[in-house]
A and B are shown apart, each in its own frame.
Chain A
Amino acid sequence: EPEVTQTPSHQVTQMGQEVILRCVPISNHLYFYWYRQILGQKVEFLVSFYNNEISEKSEIFDDQFSVERPDGSNFTLKIRSTKLEDSAMYFCASKEGRGTSLPPYNEQFFGPGTRLTVL
């Protein structure tokens, strides 16, 4: 069964360093997302990406964050200068299509996550 994959599973970095989190969405999916989950809290939306551009972003997704789809399979999240409060699980998700009443096109599937620890 197709699944979303993410690498690395765990990333430890020093404050101020740049990190790139990688995701491979499900191959026929067109919409891609990044979410984060701070330990013990709920999952929070960061950004959505469609047709090679950001379609929506949250207040969390400031100038320190960027996303890219460098080729036909990878989807990356870059944090330019990490802060302590960026420590969290980061989840990539994808869905097939846009229809509001056409299952299963609105179903988002999540990857296993990357645990980012900023020291």
Chain B
Amino acid sequence: GQQLNQSPQSMFIQEGEDVSMNCTSSSIFNTWLWYKQDPGEGPVLLIALYKAGELTSNGRLTAQFGITRKDSFLNISASIPSDVGIYFCAGQGDSWGKLQFGAGTQVVVTP
């Protein structure tokens, strides 16, 4: 089956720094989604990417759909304390919509 690797596993950064994380897949996806999850809550959609090469921003978040359709990255600029949480990438490879999730990147922001 498809292997989806997300890195890094965790990041400890100071407030104001930028954060970057990425996901790579063994197979192509037609959609990449990035979610944030706070403890005990459901994943919240941050950004959706639909085309190879697409670069999309949502406030301080920027994500790109890799040209090969096998990878995606998420950048958070000028981090703030509320950016703390676990960020998941998710790829969709078929039209029924099954999402395959990465293992998550835990972001910790210190003042």
The answer to whether A and B belong to the same complex is yes
Whether A106 lies near B101 (C-beta < 8 A) is no
Interface residues of A, CB < 8 Å — how many? 32
> Which one of A43, A93, A109 has the highest number of Cβ atoms from chain B below 10 Å of its Cβ?
A43
A48 close to B98 (CB less than 8 A): yes
User: At the interface, yes or no: B67 with Cβ under 8 Å from chain A?
Assistant: no
* In the assembled complex, A76 has its CB within 8 A of some CB on chain B: no
Within 8 A of A (CB), among B50-76: 50-51
Interface residues of A in 99-119 (CB under 8 A from B): 100-104, 106-113, 115
Is A56 on the interface with B (CB-CB < 8 A)?
yes
Chain A residue with the shortest CB-CB distance to B31? A106
**Chain A binder among B14-22, B36-44, B77-85:** B36-44
Which B residues are within 8 Å of any A CB, using their own CB? 30-31, 33, 35, 40-45, 48, 50-51, 88, 90, 92, 94-104
A-side residues, CB < 8 A to B, are 4, 31, 33, 35, 41-45, 48, 50, 55-56, 58, 91, 93, 95, 98, 100-104, 106-113, 115
